[in-house]
């Protein structure tokens, strides 16, 4: 039976990419999907083509700016009212939140209207919005075991499904790791996620320049850089005579992953999900300012499995990068083994498992656990 579902996600790639993957899967199953996000989210190119989208106001509660809390609360309540109006016409069978403040008013509206809810946590640490609603939602889908900041009492409604990735990335799982000959081209992909990363632009060109000349001449680099960093990074690559293609946005990341022998990246949830889905070894530099240091926790599983090497940003220097590159890149067999270990961490059924969970949510309130039913009544 065709149903309607609302997906609510904050406007960063880490929230939007898994939401887009679920939207594609639900649509493939014959359902109708609407996206709720902020102005940033609905502008992501290519992710939600053909999907009904809505921008809702959502205040942001910042601990260091308590004077703005009243305004944030007003915006959140206004977003809740707009979401309830959407639900009156769209009539969703369930509302699924992917984290980020723009998801909060959509979930509050669902609680008020008695609509089944779930949240999906992409990171190894439960995010702030997901923590706020964890006791109210009907199901919590996680990507890591364990997930930090997730209360043990919530275990009965926790389902580890993994982090969904786009079909084009998942398709790489069936393809072999690209052939790497000892004297052949060594392809490196450098990406800081949807927002880029200045530290990668500052360190990577100089680090690669410190490699032995025979190795350096084999390099072919694709580098995503922030707009304010791209010219300086391009100049450094040219100075070091390293073949490099730089851009501020990689439109077809699956195609770049397909030929990459090694990835140098942040440790965002979507990046890790795509690396493990495709089976690509990596050097990871977690963002130190990430909330609750979640990128360090994200990187732990892949690193402990032998599919990645993690370098804290404080230790991420040109010398350290060159050292790690030589350990990985000068032994093709070791690199291919790391690729296999990375792939072993992937969860290729994440999107179908999440879609199964979402389809199971629309039980009548009367059949829900007493605590959940009472919670919904409290928000009505």
pTM above 0.85, yes or no: yes
Terminal-residue alpha carbon distance, the chain: 28
Model pLDDT, residue 63:
54
- CA–CA gap between residue 167 and residue 25 (Å, rounded): 9
Could you read off the pLDDT tens digit of each residue along the chain, which spans 380 residues? 899 999 999 878 889 989 999 999 999 999 999 999 988 877 777 788 888 999 988 766 665 666 666 777 888 999 999 999 999 999 999 999 999 988 999 999 999 999 999 999 999 999 999 999 999 999 999 999 999 999 999 999 999 999 999 889 999 999 999 988 877 899 999 998 756 689 999 999 999 999 999 999 999 999 999 999 999 999 999 999 999 999 998 888 899 999 999 999 999 999 999 999 999 999 999 999 988 999 999 999 999 999 999 999 999 999 999 999 998 888 888 999 999 999 999 999 999 999 999 999 985 543 344 334 433 343 33
Two tokens, residue 134? 């964890």
How far apart CA 287 and CA 214 sit, in angstroms, is 32
Residue 380's SS3 state is coil
Strands in the chain per DSSP E: 4-8, 32-37, 52-55, 94-97, 117-120, 139-142, 158-160, 186-191, 219-224, 243-247, 262-265, 282-284, 308-310
Sheet with 308-310, edge to edge strand ranges? 243-247, 219-224, 186-191, 262-265, 282-284, 308-310
Contact 39, 54 (CB under 8 A): no
pLDDT for 373 = 41
Bridge partners, residue 265, by sequence: 191, 284
CA proximity to 163, closest of 117, 98, 224: 98
């Amino acid at each position: 039976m065709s149903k309607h579902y609302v997906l609510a996600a904050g406007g960063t790639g880490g929230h939007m990419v898994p939401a887009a993957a679920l939207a594609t899967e639900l649509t493939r199953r014959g359902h109708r999907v609407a996206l709720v996000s902020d102005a940033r989210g609905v502008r992501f190119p290519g992710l939600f083509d053909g999907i009904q989208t809505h921008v809702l106001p959502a205040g942001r509660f910042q601990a260091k700016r308590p004077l703005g809390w009243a305004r944030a609360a007003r915006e959140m309540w206004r977003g809740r009212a707009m979401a309830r109006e959407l639900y009156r016409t769209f009539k969703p069978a369930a509302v699924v939140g992917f984290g980020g403040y723009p998801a909060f008013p959509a979930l509050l509206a669902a609680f008020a209207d008695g609509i089944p809810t779930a949240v999906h946590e992409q990171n190894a640490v439960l995010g702030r919005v997901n923590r706020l609603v964890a006791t109210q939602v009907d199901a919590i889908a996680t990507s890591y075991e364990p997930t930090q900041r997730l209360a043990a009492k919530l275990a009965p409604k926790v389902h580890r499904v993994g982090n969904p990735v786009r079909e084009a990335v998942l398709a790489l799982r069936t393809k072999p790791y690209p052939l790497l000959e000892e004297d052949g081209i060594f392809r490196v992909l450098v990406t800081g996620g949807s927002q880029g990363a200045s530290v990668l632009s500052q360190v990577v060109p100089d680090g690669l320049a410190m490699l032995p000349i025979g190795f350096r001449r084999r390099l072919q680099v694709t580098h995503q850089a922030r707009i304010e960093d791209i010219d300086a990074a391009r100049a450094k690559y040219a100075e070091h005579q390293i073949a490099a293609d730089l851009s501020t946005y990689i439109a077809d990341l699956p195609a770049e992953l397909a030929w990459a022998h090694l990835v140098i990246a942040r440790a965002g949830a979507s990046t890790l999900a795509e690396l493990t889905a495709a089976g690509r070894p990596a050097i990871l530099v977690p963002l130190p300012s990430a909330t609750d240091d979640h990128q360090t926790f994200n990187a732990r599983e892949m690193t402990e499995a032998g599919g990645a090497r993690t370098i804290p940003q404080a230790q991420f220097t040109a010398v350290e990068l060159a050292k790690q590159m030589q350990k990985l890149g000068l032994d093709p067999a070791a690199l291919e083994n790391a690729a296999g270990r990375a792939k072993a961490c992937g969860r290729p059924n994440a999107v179908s498992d999440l879609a199964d969970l979402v389809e199971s949510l629309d039980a009548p309130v009367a059949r829900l656990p007493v605590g959940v039913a009472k919670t919904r009544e409290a928000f009505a």
